[in-house]
Amino acid sequence: MSLPVQASRTRGGAVGLAGAILSLALVLSALQLARQLPPALWFQAALQPSADDVRQLLFHFSALPRLMTAFLCGAGLGLAGALFQHVLRNPLASPTTLGVEAGAQLTLVMAAIWAPALLGASREIVAIAGAVAVTALIFAVASKRGFSSLTLVLTGLVVGLFCGALSVALKLLNQEYVTSLFIWGAGSVAQQDWSAVAYLLPRLLIGGIVAALLVRPLTVMALDDASASSLGVSLQALRAGALLLAVLLTAFVTSAVGVIGFIGLAAPQIVRLSGARQLQDRLILSPLLGGGLLVLVDQAVQAAGDHFADFLPTGAVTALFGAPLLLWLLPQLRSAGNDWATDIHATSRIGKRPLGFSAFGGILIAAVLMAVFLGRTPDGWSLAFGEEFATLAPWRVPRVAVALLAGAMLGMAGVLLQRLTRNPIASPEVLGIGTGVALGILVSMVISAAPGRALQLALGLAGAFAVLALLLWRGTRARFAPDQLLLTGIALSALLDAIMVSFLALGDPRASQLLAWMAGSTYRADASLAWMTFAIAVPLLLATPLTSRWLDILPLGDEASRELGVELGAARLVVMLLASVLTAASVLVVGPLTFAGLVGPHLARVLGMRRAFEQLIGAALLGAVLMVAADWLGRMVIFPFQLPAGLVAALIGVPYLIWHLTRRER
């Protein structure tokens, strides 16, 4: 038997690939530039553009700086990603997956709204503050868990999504900034002068030199800790230094152009998978490939049409290109994912009896009563009874009902997905299933001016099922390695998000409607929506526990499930269908960003509900409590204005998860 020997591959493949992408980028750029200005005039236009020739001015102040900016940003992110992956020994680490970009973005959005002067003084300080804060938070969490790769990426993703959600909230509350913030936030590299290049070039050069100086000690670090220290390398300082460098590079790029997803993950991965094993090679090739990729994408955006070129953010398009590329490369990735399994058990306690369901039922009833009767008026807090309640009920009751049912459905969907994929952090949100629904609803808005709820539900369902089927298809091929599944989910989410962001950035009139829905607004809930949700939810909530025995056995894996006589194909299909319908029906009313599907099952397990049946009921109750409370808080906290319930749920749920992760001892 002959097995392919990875080690025998040389870096030739990687060099070739990087070279090919760079030359392709160069050729495309040259063609694009030639369309704007004859090559004979390039030299003159670059150095001393004639003020009379608009083409030369455009070439000098727009086309060239844009090209340079794209390359520099891609290179910076590529280098940052390579450093993250090496130092953390984690092939999934990157500016995007660790939430560093999102952190920098959040502080920039906050500064833009509340302290524009600060932003004027120094964008980079603001961005660095955000990036460093997020990194510090992630490491504080990870250090409690012995720096397992799971915890690191899980925390990073969650923090990233959280910062994203918070940014959306701030944008919603400050409508006047929305459009420009969206374009910036999605990473447009369009330029009007050389300031971005002048800003980035020296910083990235210094970063590159520091990285070059770190190559040798970092190479030694690839050994285990004991051997490295015996070779005289101070590990802590080195690790901190290299990480700080990666964080700074990310912050520079983000403060210059916004979030450019995926380049920092894709470039080092591609370099690694195409055969570069030496750190030195990876640190040289990753920035080159990253720069080449981003230029390529940017040129493609420009070539796609002048109409879009000004608005379509390149950072969103990188995800369009990067995500499928990564999906294609993934099967080659053989990374150890064993610490995932242990994490399942870290969160389970035996000996502690689960809190009675009646207790949760009581909490839910209390939450519902509060949400229905307690409210704020201009005069202060008030309990509504009798006649006053009769007036308010048509407004309050439907949205509380919708929130409750959606939360319960998401909780159950989370349990189904976690047990189906044998992944403790699977959820409709994390696996991109909610995003699939969102895309379906987006399609419904495109094909119909006023889409009916039935059409939205049907297309949302189709989106959910398509994403889940793709995940399972890939999961089966990769033998359900949890990290593969998660990475597939992230890639899909990023791809779908990119489509959504592009749609929003194009200034479509339906964008604000879509935005409100994505944030999980229950404003529009009326009696008919409540009854429709009720009619869908109740049969599903009753039927799902019937799959409990499958859900108990399926996490044991294919062999054991087959051994015990479980019809694997049928069981999987039923569970998948249930999870899709539950997700679609709930996302339709509360948006894709609630995290109720992650928090509900997780909290249920922490409270000692280990068996599928208990966990299903517990997660449904907890998800319902979360959503009802979120809906109520969304109406109360900034009265007379409202925050969308889905957003509030995310703002409650995510800090809970992070707090929980820091608290648990191994």
Partner 1 sequence: MNAPFRRRTAETFAGHSGGADAVLEMEGAHLSIEGHALLQPTSLAFGRGRVYGIIGHNGSGKSTLLKLLARQMPPSGGAIRFAGTPIQDFGARAFARHVAYLPQHTPVTTSLTVRELVRFGRYPWHGPLGRVSPEDHRHVAEAMSLAQVEPFADRLVDTLSGGERQRAWVAMLVAQNSGFILLDEPTSALDLAHQMEVLRLLRSLSRSRNLGVVAVLHDINMAARFCDELIALQKGAIRMRGTPGDIMHSDVLEMVYGIPMEVIRHPVTEAPIGFAR
Which amino acid does the sequence have at 339?
D
Report the residue from 344, 384, 397, 636 that binds partner 1 according to the rule CB under 8 A: 344
Rule CB under 8 A: say whether 350 interacts with partner 1: yes
Q: Is 555 in the site for partner 1 (CB under 8 A)?
A: yes
Minimum separation from the CB atom of position 5 to partner 1 (A) = 18
341 binding partner 1? (CB under 8 A): yes
Under rule CB under 8 A, residue 4 binds partner 1 = no
Among 636, 626, 4, residue whose Cα is nearest residue 376: 636
Cβ nearer to partner 1, comparing 163 with 420: 420
CB environment 405-444: b (16+ within 10 A), e (fewer) = bbbbbbbbbbbbbbbbbbbbbbbbbbbbbbbbbbbbbbbb
One of 35, 345, 376, 524 touching partner 1 (CB under 8 A):
345
Number of other residues whose CB lies within 10 A of the CB of residue 114: 12
Regarding 51 and contact with partner 1 (CB under 8 A), the answer is: no
Nearer of residues 104 and 551 to partner 1, judged by Cβ: 551
Q: Does 594 bind partner 1 (CB under 8 A)?
A: no
Regarding 1 and contact with partner 1 (CB under 8 A), the answer is yes
Residue 273, amino acid: L
Residue 476 engages partner 1 in binding (rule: CB under 8 A): no
Residues composing the chain: 666
Of 149-157, 370-378, 563-571, 594-602, the segment contacting partner 1 by CB under 8 A is: 563-571
Query: Which tokens sit at 105?
Result: 């973005």
CB under 8 A: which stretch of 17-25, 289-297, 548-556, 654-662 binds partner 1?
548-556
Residue from 559, 640, 663, 665 touching partner 1 (CB under 8 A): that is 559
CB of 538 to partner 1, least distance (A): 19
Q: Which of 636, 634, 635, 651 is nearest to 595 (CA)?
A: 651
List the beta strands (DSSP E) in 210-320.
none
Judged by CB under 8 A, the number of residues near partner 1 is 29
Residue 314 · residue 294 · CB < 8 Å = yes
Tokens for 548?
């409990």
Tokens of 572: 């999987």
- Whose Cβ is closer to partner 1: residue 371's or residue 566's? 566
Q: Is 173 in the site for partner 1 (CB under 8 A)?
A: no
| Nearest CA among 346, 336, 666 for reference residue 483 | 336
Among 26, 53, 552, 636, binds partner 1 (CB under 8 A): 552
Among 31, 564, 637, 638, binds partner 1 (CB under 8 A): 564
Binding segment toward partner 1, per CB under 8 A, in 21-29, 265-273, 513-521, 561-569: 561-569
The Cα–Cα gap between 548 and 559 comes to 19
Least separation in angstroms between CB 566 and partner 1: 6
Q: How many CB atoms lie within 10 A of CB 529?
A: 18
Q: Which tokens in the block code for residue 486?
A: 């998660």
Least Cβ distance, residue 342 to partner 1 (angstroms)? 8
Q: Report the chain's terminal Cα–Cα distance, integer Å.
A: 42
* Cα 624–chain centre separation: 24
Could you tell me the two tokens for 482? 């949890």
Location of structure tokens 């409210």 = 375
Residue 216 contacts partner 1 per CB under 8 A: no
Using CB under 8 A, which of 352, 477, 611, 666 touches partner 1? 611
Residues 237, 303: Cα–Cα separation, whole Å: 46
Q: Report how far residue 59's alpha carbon sits from residue 34's, in angstroms, rounded to the nearest whole number.
A: 10
Single residue of 352, 557, 573, 641 touching partner 1 by CB under 8 A = 557
Query: Of 562, 573, 637, 659, which lies in the binding site for partner 1, with binding defined by CB under 8 A?
Result: 562
In whole angstroms, how close is the CB of 568 to partner 1 at the nearest point?
8
Minimum CB–partner distance for residue 475 and partner 1 (Å): 16
Span of 50-58, 225-233, 355-363, 551-559 interacting with partner 1 by CB under 8 A: 551-559
The closest of 512, 509, 522, 648 to 178, measured between CA atoms, is: 512
Contact present, 442 and 570 (Cβ < 8 Å): no
Q: Which residue lies nearer to partner 1 by CB, 347 or 512?
A: 347
Amino acid letter for position 263: I
Whole-number Å distance between alpha carbons of 376 and 373: 10
Burial pattern 69-90, b for ≥16 Cβ within 10 A else e, equals bbbbbbbbbbbbbbbbbbbbeb
Query: Which part of the chain contacts partner 1 (CB under 8 A), choosing from 6-14, 174-182, 451-459, 542-550?
Result: 542-550
Cα maximum dimension of the chain: 83
Are 419 and 551 in contact, with CB atoms under 8 Å apart? yes
Whether the Cβ atoms of residue 430 and residue 414 lie closer than 8 Å to each other: no
Q: Which is nearer to partner 1, 149 or 521 (CB)?
A: 149
- Read off the tokens for 93: 């680490």
> Which residue blocks in 37-148 are alpha helix, DSSP H?
42-47, 54-58, 64-87, 100-114, 116-121, 123-144
Q: Cβ of residue 314: shortest distance to partner 1, in angstroms?
A: 43
Q: Which stretch binds partner 1 (CB under 8 A): 43-51, 79-87, 203-211, 339-347?
A: 339-347
- Count of alpha carbons within 13 angstroms of residue 115, beta-carbon side: 11
Q: How far is the CB of 240 from partner 1 (least distance, A)?
A: 34
Q: How many CB atoms lie within 10 A of CB 165?
A: 26
Cβ of residue 329: shortest distance to partner 1, in angstroms? 23
560 contacts partner 1 (rule: CB under 8 A): yes
Site string for partner 1, 284-323 (x = CB under 8 A): ----------------------------------------
Two structure tokens written together for 364:
């839910």
* Residue among 364, 457, 566, 587 that touches partner 1 (CB under 8 A): 566
Looking at 341-349, 375-383, 385-393, 462-470, which segment touches partner 1 (CB under 8 A)?
A: 341-349
- Kindly tell me which of 422 and 635 has the beta carbon lying closer to partner 1: 422
Rule CB under 8 A: say whether 352 interacts with partner 1.
no
Residue 546 touches partner 1, criterion: CB under 8 A: yes
Instruction: Find the binding residues for partner 1 in span 406-425 (CB under 8 A).
Output: 422
Q: Give me the phi and psi of 451, to 5 degrees please.
A: -65, 135
Min dist CB 614 to partner 1, Å, is 12
Among 549, 636, 656, 660, binds partner 1 (CB under 8 A): 549
255 or 484: CB nearest partner 1: 484
**421, 593 contact by CB (below 8 A):** no
Residue span binding partner 1 (CB under 8 A) among the ranges 39-47, 190-198, 560-568, 624-632 = 560-568
Min CB(468)–partner 1 separation in Å: 21
Contact residues toward partner 1 (CB under 8 A) are 1, 341, 344-345, 348, 350, 422, 546-547, 549-550, 552-553, 555-557, 559-560, 562-568, 571, 605, 610-611
